[in-house]
Each structure stands twice: as structure tokens, then as C-alpha cells.
Chain A
Amino acid sequence: MIAAAAKHGYLDTRITLLAQRLLSNEALRRLVDTPVEQQRELLDRARLPISARSGSGTALLEPQSVGALLEEAMIILRPLRSAARGLLHHWLRRFELINLKTILRGKIAGWSPEAVQGALVDLGGFGVLPVDELSRTEDLLELLRVLERYYTPEMVRRARDSYEETRDLFVLEAVLDRQYFSQLQRRVGKLDRAQRQYVQPMTDRLLDQINLVWLLRYRFAYGFEPPHAYFLLGPGGEHMDAHTVLELVRLESTGEVLEKLPPAMRLRLGEVTSTSDIETRLEQDRLQVARTTLRYTRFNLGRALAYLMLREFQLGRIHIAVRGEYLRLAPAFVARAAGLAPGPTDVQARGG
């Protein structure tokens, strides 16, 4: 304990201070009910310099929230070294993956480079991809050629072959996702055991969530054959390991898959049956683990990852709440969209 405190004392203090920025569910719920003009106080408590009344509507909300998150991440990364730093850095590269997918979608939809760039999140020093060069490419093949400088040739070739075979963007995205999650798992594996015990429960739950949700989508929404679906899925998590996924991928309906899930996973899901509800439930479960790690453990890297996960989730909710209020949507509808009030609600616009 003393060694951990000496090693992670600064990080721990920082995380404890940052954690004060996390709003409770009640505060978030209140944000949904508060008019835009009076949201300032709650947003100040969350230390978010965002506003839907800044003259540009809600267009700046997302970049502002991601910017705030990355600034905090810079503070968290500062005292970290080697494997720990590498893991959190990789975690933040998810935003770069999101940018890359936006560029890919923009290319396929024929957006102008300016439109593509306008839709990207500014990652500051976290990004390595040349987004300007990528967004100015004139077709997907040229884009993949540029990407070859940043990913392995095999991976880019597979992305190209997959795209040429199916012309489906999500196959290309699946290749990128799989690479990302495999690297995440490898980076968790590189941590020493003392740190891994706090980090792995969260990353394992994330991998479980990704694998189950995408298994259902590949098999029953896109109609992929079992081997194809299995191949596209990411590395195994806590319950959705390779053996389980191999069993589940052969089944013929969502109901069968849910029935054959490991008991612990079934318990987590309760009675939900739709893929989107499953995703929400598993995400909540992962965030609960993050909350527990943040609240009840001390002096470890898991707290940093937990904070980043919770903060990102919360920024997303705040984003929905502020935008919903700006668009004058019914609070109940906004609350449901933000995952703050489960259950069907009347969808009514307040007009104006």
C-alpha cells in the first residue's frame, strides 16, 4: 500500500480532484429539466466550458466536450510512464479511430474535404494520423494508401480487400475496431499484476459488450455466416471468451444466443432482448464497475481509466441534455435518450 501510494500518490490526488467534476445522476437529470439559460451553473460544476448559446448553436458542443476531456487526460497522463501511459494513450486513441471512421464515411458519401474536416474532433497532440491529408484524398483507395504509412500493410490490405469484396463500410470499420481492441487487450496484458487487477475488470467488460453486441448484429442484422461473424469479432473478454463466442456464433436467433450466455452475463442482462438495450445494459454494468473502482480503491491506474470512462459517458449525456434543451425537446424524451430515465415516454416537442 505504501509503495503504491508513493508511486501513484500524485495521480491519485489528481483523480480524486477530477472526480469532483462528475455530476450525480440527479444533477444530470436536473440538467435535462433546466432551461438553456440556467444550465450554466451545473455546467460550471462539471467544469465544462460548453454552451449551446455561444452563437454557433450546438455545433461546438462535441468538440468542446472532447477538448475538455483531452485536457484532463493530459493532466492524468503526465505522471504516468511506460505501460500505464501507453494504455491510457491507446484508450484515448479511440477518438482518432472515430475520426478515421468519419473520414471513411465522408469519402464514401462524397463529402467535401471541408465538410469532413468540420466533422472531425480536434485531438491536439493525441492524434498521429494526418487528418488533413486523409480528408483531401479523392477516393477510398488513395485513402488506404495514405493509411499504409500508419498501419501494417497486411491490415490495410485486408481492409482494402474486404471493402473491394463487399463494398460495405462496416466491414472496413470492423477490421479497424478489431485491431484497436486487440491492441488494447495486449496493452492491458503488459501491465504489472498489481495494476492489471483494477484495469482488467473494466476492459474485459468492454470487450464482452463489444463482442456480444456485434455478434448479434453480424449474425442476425447483417446475416453473416458463423465463421465470418466469428472472424470479425474482437478478442475475448471476461465471459465472452473465444470458446463461448464459438458456441454462440453457431446459434440461429437472438433468443437462443441470450439463453446460452454464461450465467453471469445472463444475470447482467436481465430481461432485455433488443440489441440496443443489451448494449445499454452492458455499458451501465461496465460503468458501475468503473464507479466502484473510482470510489472504493486507491492508488492505482484503474482509477484513472475509470475516471476517463465515466467522464466520457457523462460528457455524452450532458451533450444530449444541452442539445435537447436547445432544440426544445420534451425533457422526458431527452432523459430517455440520455439514458437517465428508462421506460417509454411521450415524445412531444415543446414547439418554438
Chain B
Amino acid sequence: MFKPLAMQYATIFLVSEDVAAASLALAESEAFNPQARDESEALPERPGEDYRALYESARGRLSKVLSYLQVESESEPKSSWRRPISEAELARTDERLGEIWRECSTCQQREQRTREQRRELEQLERVLEKYEALDIDLGLLHGGLQFLDLHIGSVAQRDVARLREAVGIIGYNLTVFMSLDSTAYVVVSGLKGAEHELRTVLNAASFRHLELPSQFRDRPTELRKDLDIRRQRINADEEMLRRQLGQARRVHGPFLREATETLALAAPYAQLAETLQGRGALVRISGWVPEDREKQLRASLAARLAGRFAVESRPPRSEEQDQVPTLVRYPWLFRPFAALVNNYGVPRYGELDPTWLFAITFVLMFGTMFGDIGQGLTISALGLIFRSRLKRFALFFVLAGLSSAGFGVIYGSVFGSEQIVHPLWMSPLSDPQRMLTLAVYWGAALILLATALTIYNRIVQHELIRAFLGGRGVAGAVLYVGLLLAAHRWMTDGPWSSGEQLLVFVPLILVAGYQWHRHKGGIGERIMVTLIETVETVISYLANTLSFLRIAAFSLNHVILAITVFTLADMMGAFGHWVVVILGNIFIIVLEGAIVGIQVLRLEYYEGFSRFFGGDGRPFRPLVVGLSPAQGR
């Protein structure tokens, strides 16, 4: 719970024809995190590369086809017996998926064309509507003219100016006669003789010729008929495409579900491919396994491979520390908090996992800032009522609410009223200064605890000088205690003894010395950096401590909000009084509750985690059967 589980580096030797079965065995055990291979001269071959390439290709095709045909399929195989997928079978699946995708891609291309045709038709209708009433015989324009070369069509609005200049080079004119959306309808005209040059530039500009019905001017009814025929043709095309899609769904559906299962079973081998090394028939698989799951892993391999394998395991070497994945098992009580910690980052292997500290301090800080029996119990009740929606976070709400109710007993507050229960300690507003002092104690305790964890983590990572002399090491912690004592003396006008002065100046010199030692460069730059970093260490301790004053501020704010609600309620009649009290409490629970939650999270992340927790560890990602790689569990 406090530290990631101990890991073993496992190396599995087996024959190449058993790799598919071995990958399934490893995936079924859910206890093996493959490790990318390092270069080895003894095992120069990469036996899984072809398999992986096939898998990637098939996976990509399957995903496109499923999405296009809107076929639902399970990402994990249904059948209980999981058979290994050979490379030949994977190749067949990939080939078939390729054929289906080509079919779908053609349909997609036709859909796009049909969409464009419909858009053009609609625009043409609008053009014709506008020009129908004019006395212009556009019908003449597509007839053969002896000297004049004339083209009517559309281009993108943004290309008009450029195209006009371009056709001007060969003596053509371009006139815009209508603009719709981003399309311009233009007439390009010029003397015959440069048709070839014109054609190349019109093509480059993606010029679309308008297909004008010959009856345009004289017979509007005929014209409508012509456009209707075109529309019907487009409708028919779309209908045919829809039918084809439906048919494709029916015809290919069973195969696609089968292919999904095949790929789900092939996924472990494909994932393993990155780690496989071999020579001839011999293959080596390397990765990490939790120490307490090693037996299970061996048993799983034995069940599939009947003894045709060898496993060697050893603890991680010191130079491998940054490669070892982190796996922490949490008691059920801490699971919702683990999700929030993982949101910040994953602890490195060997580091202390901060979830327990986060869980305890989060719940206590929330209660301190939002202490109320009624509102706290309401939050807990809401967590229970909506547990199916909130899932694992339901517990989070229940615990935060109970803490709030607990502090409500201490503060003597029930739904904002301080008249119902006598406080076990005091109401925050009765002595704000004491609340502020409490908040500083909170901050100092949490910062010292966080610094202690930093020191531990650095010792674990063999960064001893940093652990003892760094700003967030032993020297930094002593400096902080010295500063707190100095501040206390200053505020109480007490004497600052020489021993207490040493508590500030000795660690300060050590921290500065460490900064000097750490930074290389010119003498001026070194002096500057040392000075800034040392001052920053002192300031950040003070600023971080002051940041915790928000604990007091929000506890006071909570009471003041309640007083405001009751003052407003007292201004109403009997009915209005209760309406205001109820609405005010809802407002406090929803809005202030959320704000307090965010503030606590902020204090945890920035004043707590950022001190001792890099969060740059690698999560344990076991090999699993299925199309989506599972997260560390």
C-alpha cells in the first residue's frame, strides 16, 4: 500500500513455434509487462516484426471498416478457449479485411462525389432561379461559337483574383456573375487559339463547368424537369449506396466479428513483438513480473507450453530503476483517491506511494474547510444514492461528507445553524486567529511530512547529497523549522537564541553550497544561480506555508455564507424562511463544496505532491487479451 510491489525481471526462453501460445499464456496471467529489448549480438533476429506489421495493418483496417459500416463488436473474445493465432491466419484475416476496406473506400468515395453533385445541383438551382427572369440566353453559351471561346463554371472564391490574372496572360477575361458561400460563378471568355493553355490553368484551379440545360431560357417547365431528373439520379445513387452499405453490413458482419476476436487473440503476440529476440528456432521474451505473481506466471506458461520453456528471474539492477514499472495494490478504501493521484503521475519504482497520505489529508482538510453535520451527511448520502453513476468515486463523496460531518460536530454547525448543537471545540468565526494558527500548523505539518518523503525517495534513488543538502532535503527541512521558530519568536517578541539562529544559518549555507556545487558555468552565472535558488528555497517554504491559510479562510467563509443565508431567511415570512434556508444550503453544498474540493486538491498537488513526488514512473501495463491495452491495475 505504501510502496510499489517488488518486481522481478523475467527472461523466458522458448522455441519460435510456441511464441503465439506463450503470448496468450502471459496475457492470461495478466502479470507480465513486456520490456523493450536491448541490442544483443547473441540474439540478433527480431522474430515478431512481421507478425506485428500484419497485426497493425489488420487492426487499422478493422477499425476503419467497423466505423464505416457501424458494426458493433466485442473487444474481448467471447469464447472461453483461447487459441493462438498463427501468422498465416493473421495474414488471411488482414487480406480479407483489406478487400472489405477497398469495397468500403470505393463507397466512401462515391458518397463524397454524390455529396458534391448534390451541392452543385443546389447551387445551380439557385443560380438559375436568379437568372431565369433575365433576358440573357445562357443557352447559347454552350453552343459552338466560331471565334469566341466561352466557359461558364465555378471556382473557389479565394482563387478568383489569381485565376483572373492568370487567364489574362493569354487574353481571356474572367467575370464573376454570382457568388454563393465560398464558390464564385464565373464566365471565362476570350478569342479562340489558346484553348490548351486555358484548359491547364482551369484544371489547376479546379474549375467546374456548369452543365446548363439547353431549354434554360424558353421552357422553364422543361428546365425544372431536367433538374428533377438530375436530383432523382442523385437520390437513386444515394439510395443504392445505402442499400450497398446495408448489404455489406449483413454480408461482412459475421466475418468482422470473427476478425475482431482473431485480432483480440493476436494482440498479445503483436504487443510482445517489440521485446522478442531470437536466433534460429530460439526466442527470448523479457519483461517485468510482480514478485508475488511469478509462480502464477510460470503455472500459466506450463499449462500452455507443457514444459517447453525456461524462465530466469532476478531483481532489478540499480541502473534499471527508471525502467521498472510501478504496480501498487490499494485497499478498497483508497481506490478512489488512487485515481486522483494517478491523475498527477505515477510514483517511480521504489518511491513511496503518496495515495495513503493524500487520502487522509484530503479527507481531513475537506472537513476542516467545510465542517457541517447536515451538509456533510447530505454529501455522504448523495454519494450513496448516486453510487451507480459515481462508481468508485462514490466512496470519495461518502468519506469527504463524513469528515465534514465530523468537523461539524467540532464546530457545532448543522445546515449552517450554530444554535442546534453545542460545539465540541468552537465555531471558526468565534476565534479567527486561532483558525489561522491551526491552518499554519496544518501547512507546516504537511510540508515537513512531504519533505521527509522527499528525503526518503532521494535516498532510495541513491541521490544522497541531494537528500541531505538539497533545498528539499534534510538541510532544507532544518532550515524550515528554523524559519518557523524565528517567525514564532518575532511574532511573540520572544528572544531568538543563538542556537535557533544556527538552525537557520547553518542549513542556509549548506543549501547554498549545494546549489553552488550543482551548477556549472561561469563564475558570475554560478553566483547568480546560487543566490536565486537559495532565496527561492526560503521564499517557497514561506509561500507554501502561507498557502495553507486558505484552510482557515474557507472554514470562515463557510460560516459567513451560512450567516448570510440565515440573515436573508429571517427577512422572509415563515414559508420564505425555509425556502431560503433550503436553497441557501443547496447553494453552499454545490458551489462552496466544489470550490473547497478544488482548493484541497490544489493544496495537495502544488504544496504537497510537487515537493516530493515526481510522478514520472512507468505504470505497470500487463499483457492482456483484447484489442485495448489495459491500464496498470
> Residues on A close to B: CB < 8 A?
55, 112-114, 136, 138-139, 141-142, 145, 152, 154-155, 157-158, 161-162, 165-166, 171, 224-228, 230-232, 242, 246, 249-250
Contacts and interface: CB of A to CB of B under 8 A. Distances in A.
Given A114-B56, A226-B170, A246-B165, A161 B206 contact: yes
B539 interface: no
B134 interface: no
Contacts of B102: 138
Interface stretch (B104-112, B218-226, B389-397, B569-577): B104-112
Interface in B24-73: 39, 53, 56-57, 60
B317 interface: no
30 contacts: A114-B56, A136-B60, A138-B105, A141-B109, A142-B108, A145-B109, A152-B156, A154-B158, A154-B206, A157-B206, A158-B204, A158-B206, A161-B203, A162-B204, A162-B206, A225-B196, A225-B197, A225-B201, A226-B170, A226-B197, A227-B166, A227-B169, A227-B170, A227-B197, A230-B162, A230-B165, A231-B166, A231-B205, A246-B168, A249-B169
Interface in B182-202: 182-183, 196-198, 200-201
A246 B171 CA distance: 12
A161 B168 CA distance: 23
A158 B155 CA distance: 10
B32 to A, nearest CB: 25
Contact of B200 (A136, A138, A225): A225
Contacts of B204: 158, 162, 171, 228, 231-232
* Candidate in A142, A162, A231 with the most chain B CB atoms within 10 angstroms: A231
B203 A246 contact: no
Nearest to B119: A153
B318 to A, nearest CB: 22
Contacts of A227: 166-167, 169-170, 197-198, 200-201
Nearest to A249: B169
A231 B102 CA distance: 35
Contacts of B183: 154
Contacts of A224: 200
Contact of B205 (A114, A158, A250): A158
B116 interface: yes
B169 A246 contact: yes
Contacts of B162: 230-231
Nearest to A242: B165
A26 B27 CA distance: 58
Contacts of A113: 56-57, 60
A136 B159 CA distance: 32
A250 B165 CA distance: 12
A142 B206 CA distance: 19
Given A55-B39, A230-B169, A141 B197 contact: no
B203 A165 contact: yes
B166 A230 contact: yes
Contact of B105 (A142, A165, A230): A142
Contact of B182 (A138, A154, A250): A154
A333 to B, nearest CB: 32
> Helix, strand, loop or mixed for chain A's interface?
helix
B194 to A, nearest CB: 8
Contacts, number: 85
Interface string B159-180: 1001101111110000000000
Contacts of A231: 159, 162-163, 166, 201, 204-205
Contacts of B269: none
A112 B49 CA distance: 13
Contacts of B170: 225-227
A113 B58 CA distance: 12
A249 B166 CA distance: 10
A139 B159 CA distance: 27
A227 B195 CA distance: 12
Contacts of A142: 105, 108
Contacts of B201: 225, 227-228, 230-231
Contacts of A157: 116, 206
B53 A114 contact: yes
A162 B156 CA distance: 14
B101 interface: yes
Interface in B93-126: 98, 101-102, 105, 108-109, 112, 116
Contacts of B158: 154
Contacts of B200: 224-225, 227-228
A193 B108 CA distance: 48
Interface string B123-166: 00000000000000000000000000000000010110011011
A216 B205 CA distance: 20
B89 to A, nearest CB: 21
B595 to A, nearest CB: 29
A55 B41 CA distance: 13
Contacts of A152: 156, 182
Contact of A228 (B108, B182, B197, B206): B197
Contact of B156 (A55, A158, A232, A242): A158
A157 B206 CA distance: 7
A91 to B, nearest CB: 21
A162 B201 CA distance: 10
A139 B104 CA distance: 13
Contacts of A230: 162, 165-166, 169, 201
A46 to B, nearest CB: 16
Contacts of A250: 169
Contacts of B60: 113, 136
Contacts of A165: 203
A154 B206 CA distance: 8
Interface string B85-96: 000000000000
Contacts of B159: 158, 231
A182 to B, nearest CB: 8
Nearest to B106: A141
A250 B109 CA distance: 39
A318 to B, nearest CB: 23
Contacts of B169: 226-227, 230, 246, 249-250
Contacts of B168: 246
A94 to B, nearest CB: 21
A138 B101 contact: yes
Given A145-B108, A227-B166, A231-B162, A112 B53 contact: yes
A246 B165 CA distance: 8
A108 B601 CA distance: 52
B417 to A, nearest CB: 49
A224 B170 CA distance: 13
Given A112-B53, A158-B205, 12 more contacts: A114-B53, A142-B108, A152-B156, A157-B116, A162-B203, A171-B204, A225-B170, A225-B196, A226-B170, A231-B159, A231-B162, A246-B168
